[in-house]
Structure 1
Amino acid sequence: MNNLLINKYNVSGPRYTSYPTVPYWDNETFSLKLWKASLKQSFKESNAKEGIGLYIHLPFCESLCTFCGCNKRITKQHSVEAPYIDAVLKEWDLYLELFDEKPVIKELHLGGGTPTFFSPEHLKRLINGILKRSVLADNYEFSFEGHPNNTTREHLQALFDVGFRRVSYGVQDYNETVQKAIHRIQPFENVERATNLAREIGYTSVGHDIIFGLPFQNLDHVKSTILKTKALLPDRLAFYSYAHVPWIKGNGQRGFNDNDLPTPELKRKQYELGKQLLAEVGYHEIGMDHFALKTDSLFQSMENGNLHRNFMGYTASKTQAMIGLGVSSISDSWYGFSQNVKGIESYYNLLKDDIIPVYRGHILNEEDLIIRQHILNLMCRFKTSWEDTNLYFKELPDALIMLKEMEIDGLVNIHAKHLEVTEKGQPFVRNICMAFDVLLQRKQPDAQLFSMTV
């Protein structure tokens, strides 16, 4: 890839798992009452038709990985498991009180933290507690994030028994120097064991997460990691850029110096090499930073035009309503977003008082909904259109003017009523979305809020 383009477009920018992005939420006009109303409206419109999504955040980890920007609590005390599950089920009960009918669960994802910090018995109790007052959609999909070092046969079997068929393992990189820098020591043999166990039990989709741009990581490291990944042939892969955001308090990204990180030029070479190696064995790029075999539901959803993106990243299907349970979880009613408190003690205290533990959010206005659709179109299909006058917004001409230079650089093709991202432009899709992000354009941040786009 042209280094001039990398230097030109390597700026701080959102990953667009939502629009508006979190720093631009209007928290002043947001309220728990408005959030509940938006969710009840969305549930009424969509539950019977498509079901809802659930994300459950399990924040505990036994050790700190220094590349991680997630909300977590480091502890080796497993006595924290039962109280936390009790609290999540209490939160679920508070949401159920809002609805006139049983929720139809289409998607459920366990994230963290380290979900496999919890015992198989506690995980099974959590899921059975969720399902006890719900019904399952015909084509439901349950998935969880597994740590290769501590995901046991018992974990996999217990979750399989309650409906899980997809697991993703955090690999990051197999090089020992890189692993020491990010404090994530896990040999290939552990990943191989966890991958094979899942397949033996009957999981139909096994994913691996691989990161480029990590400290001390070079091209040979990326090549070696991809070649080892080829040997296991996971059904899907997240192959994405390390987001260096050490200014976010408490995320642990102070375990190495900035000059230990690859340059933007090297990061892009790492990505291009990985992409080439993955293509050679049949992986297809899905949206931004994701790859899948043709047999995986993520590829099929892209082919069918059903690919969706939300706070969990790319998903194979859309649910209009997605409820986040647990500390720091984000919920999405399509008409609004809400985020739970980040502290475990605050979370427990609010639930004890029968209060849904939301502390901030945003209710989308008409303009937000229009921009959100354009950004979803670009992120999921690399094209968008304003042929439908309902998708026109007053600052669209300004956005197209901003994109003119990208068109000259061969990144987009702009037409009278639509545009598409070229293959050359796909690595820069975040930059293209930024032209549509009217809130970002109206008020550029004074300080760096986002990771770099390259």
Structure 2
Amino acid sequence: MQLAASLLEKYSKAGPRYTSYPTAPYFTDAFGEKEWLEEIKQTQDKGRDLSLYVHIPFCDTLCYYCGCNMVATRNYNRATEYLDYLFKEIDQVAALTNPGRVARQLHWGGGTPTYLAPDDIRRLFAHIASRFAIAADAEKGCEVDPRELSREHVKALKDAGFNRISLGVQDLNDTVQKAVNRVQPESLIRQVYGWMREEGFDSINMDLMVGLPHQTVETYREMLDKIIDMGPDRLAVFNYAHVPWMKKNQKLIVEADLPSLATRLELQQLILDKLGAAGYVYIGMDHFAKPDDEIVKAQQSKTLYRNFQGYTTHKNCDIYAFGASSISQTEDVFVQNVKKLSDYYRLVGEGRLPTERGLRVTNEDKLRRDAITRIMCDLELDKASFGRAWGIDFDKYFADALVELKEMEVDGLVALSPEKVVVTQVGRFFLRNIAMPFDAYLKQQSADKPRFSRTL
């Protein structure tokens, strides 16, 4: 796969990541606790399984690039207090849930879930398992920061039943690490990775970032060689999203130290070449996996899905999300919890659900969500099949989108035929751009339109 600098420059523009559609900036406070309570009650007998998400917002230190909802603190009492309220929220939702519903997926994110002490990891998991029926073969994943991590933390995760680990690496170069305030030597990464393998984790993802200050082709090549040598099962190589107007901590990054457009192109080409040569399959949207990984098989069988946890094999699940800023989802609704801990504690303490905003989707939203999901997961859209499913004439309904896609076809990103829209090998790199023509919200004229990160 060869990327042209002209394509990178042309398509590097602001756009959503499409972990949802409509995207989170369009959620509204007109949808609140009352509406969410009613939605929970009305959706208990629809035959859908559950996906449970828990947000742990704490970290020991602030990474300058971070775009998450997090709190940097070394006062562990804050985590103890948070868990007390988190347990209460879990109890509130569990009491409204049909006990026959089964959780097929569990994910802990942050912040840093392993900020929790090992015994609290076990305690939190046990509390969830006592309130919800978790399938014996459920996918149970946790994000891990190698700093401050002990062997006991890894044992606690295994004892709790986790079977997937996502290890935050970002970059192995000392200069890059210091520039973003995330210092974690290669020796530490190898040690932690070794602990995970020794404890029996056979599905380990590594998160890397591209576009960080001081990254060069030479240093990134050295890092990729070391990562490939370790052999993680999956890799998520995220583009650094520089949005200092949204995340004030990113103002601590010196913009002059960020890689140039030309260097970013070389880095992206290097990633595709090196990981491809090492046998990893490029799923799209920054994700790579070994050929025998279930996520690769799901893409091949067209059963892959995308939600707030990224790519998943669990499509027919309602997401119940717990903790500050977390986002829940049913077929018809998105809802987000309050972000400030003080607000979260107040609402949960009052016996209320800590809802801040949400959205009930329309049939139009669902139709377009399906089109965007199919592009991002299947890498193609069968026009006739899609038209039958939604009762539309595809070419007429998406006439404006097809005009934009025609230009992308000229650039080699898609192949258009009377039957299908197919993403090319090069187009996998531009999935966000290919999805955007189907997004009706981007076409709305508004003085306060949301600002997204750049697609590349």
Q: Which category describes the TM-score, using the shorter chain as reference length?
A: over 0.9
- Could you tell me how far 1:38 is from its partner in structure 2? 3.2
Residue pair 1:104, 1:137 contacting (<8 A) in 2 also: yes
Paired position in structure 1 for 2:258 = 261
Q: CA, structure 1 residues 138+303, in 2 after alignment: closer, same or farther (shift >3 Å)?
A: farther
Residue pair 1:173, 1:221 contacting (<8 A) in 2 also: no
Q: CA, structure 1 residues 352+300, in 2 after alignment: closer, same or farther (shift >3 Å)?
A: same
Q: After the TM superposition, which residues 308-387 of structure 1 pair with which residues of structure 2 at under 5 Å, given as runs? A: 308-387=305-384
- Could you tell me how far 1:107 is from its partner in structure 2? 0.8
Asked if 1:81 is matched to 2:63, the reply is no
Q: CA, structure 1 residues 124+138, in 2 after alignment: closer, same or farther (shift >3 Å)?
A: closer
- Could you tell me how far 1:446 is from its partner in structure 2? 5.3
- Could you tell me how far 1:426 is from its partner in structure 2? 1.5
- Could you tell me how far 1:436 is from its partner in structure 2? 0.3
Q: After the TM superposition, which residues 171-186 of structure 1 pair with which residues of structure 2 at under 5 Å, given as runs? A: 171-186=169-184
Residue pair 1:88, 1:325 contacting (<8 A) in 2 also: yes
Residue pair 1:39, 1:321 contacting (<8 A) in 2 also: no
- Could you tell me how far 1:433 is from its partner in structure 2? 0.7
Q: Identify which range, 442-451 or 55-64, moves more after superposition.
A: 442-451
Paired position in structure 1 for 2:452 = 450
For 1:55 and 1:315, locate their aligned partners in 2 and report how far apart those are by CA, in whole Å: 13
State the SS of the aligned residue for 1:314.
Answer: strand
Provide, for residues 363-400 of structure 1, a one-character-per-residue CA deviation record: whole Å limited to 9, x for no partner. Answer: 10000000011111111111123423343377511111
- Could you tell me how far 1:41 is from its partner in structure 2? 4.0
Q: Identify which range, 80-89 or 55-64, moves more after superposition.
A: 80-89
Provide, for residues 98-154 of structure 1, a one-character-per-residue CA deviation record: whole Å limited to 9, x for no partner. Answer: 223244111111111111111010111111000102222243011111111222221
Provide, for residues 339-375 of structure 1, a one-character-per-residue CA deviation record: whole Å limited to 9, x for no partner. Answer: 1111111101000111110101111000000001111
Q: CA, structure 1 residues 128+272, in 2 after alignment: closer, same or farther (shift >3 Å)?
A: same
Q: Which amino acid aligns with 2:153?
A: H
Paired position in structure 2 for 1:297 = 294
Q: After the TM superposition, which residues 153-168 of structure 1 pair with which residues of structure 2 at under 5 Å, given as runs? A: 153-168=151-166
State the SS of the aligned residue for 1:109.
Answer: strand
Paired position in structure 2 for 1:56 = 54
- Could you tell me how far 1:260 is from its partner in structure 2? 1.7
Q: CA, structure 1 residues 303+297, in 2 after alignment: closer, same or farther (shift >3 Å)?
A: same
For 1:133 and 1:45, locate their aligned partners in 2 and report how far apart those are by CA, in whole Å: 20
State the SS of the aligned residue for 2:55.
Answer: strand
Paired position in structure 2 for 1:216 = 214
For 1:229 and 1:326, locate their aligned partners in 2 and report how far apart those are by CA, in whole Å: 33
Unaligned runs of 5+ in 2: none
- Could you tell me how far 1:304 is from its partner in structure 2? 2.8
Asked if 1:122 is matched to 2:100, the reply is no
State the SS of the aligned residue for 2:251.
Answer: coil
- Could you tell me how far 1:265 is from its partner in structure 2? 3.0
Q: Which amino acid aligns with 2:277?
A: E
Q: Identify which range, 122-131 or 442-451, moves more after superposition.
A: 442-451
Q: CA, structure 1 residues 222+151, in 2 after alignment: closer, same or farther (shift >3 Å)?
A: same
Which TM-score applies when normalising by structure 1?
Answer: 0.95
Q: CA RMSD in A?
A: 1.7
- Could you tell me how far 1:88 is from its partner in structure 2? 1.1
Q: CA, structure 1 residues 28+131, in 2 after alignment: closer, same or farther (shift >3 Å)?
A: closer
Q: Which amino acid aligns with 1:99?
A: T
- Could you tell me how far 1:168 is from its partner in structure 2? 1.0
Paired position in structure 1 for 2:35 = 34
Equivalent residue pairs, number: 449
- Could you tell me how far 1:180 is from its partner in structure 2? 0.6
Q: Which amino acid aligns with 1:345?
A: S
Asked if 1:418 is matched to 2:417, the reply is no
Q: After the TM superposition, which residues 262-277 of structure 1 pair with which residues of structure 2 at under 5 Å, given as runs? A: 262-277=259-274
Residue pair 1:42, 1:320 contacting (<8 A) in 2 also: no
Q: Which amino acid aligns with 2:173?
A: N
For 1:87 and 1:170, locate their aligned partners in 2 and report how far apart those are by CA, in whole Å: 27
State the SS of the aligned residue for 2:292.
Answer: coil
For 1:404 and 1:61, locate their aligned partners in 2 and report how far apart those are by CA, in whole Å: 46
Q: After the TM superposition, which residues 85-164 of structure 1 pair with which residues of structure 2 at under 5 Å, given as runs? A: 85-164=83-162
For 1:238 and 1:396, locate their aligned partners in 2 and report how far apart those are by CA, in whole Å: 31
Q: CA, structure 1 residues 44+417, in 2 after alignment: closer, same or farther (shift >3 Å)?
A: farther
Q: Which amino acid aligns with 2:388?
A: T
Residue pair 1:58, 1:113 contacting (<8 A) in 2 also: yes
- Aligned with residue 441 of structure 2, among 439, 442, 452: 439
Q: CA, structure 1 residues 343+29, in 2 after alignment: closer, same or farther (shift >3 Å)?
A: closer
For 1:116 and 1:404, locate their aligned partners in 2 and report how far apart those are by CA, in whole Å: 47
Residue pair 1:52, 1:104 contacting (<8 A) in 2 also: yes
Which TM-score applies when normalising by structure 2?
Answer: 0.94
Q: Which amino acid aligns with 2:186?
A: F
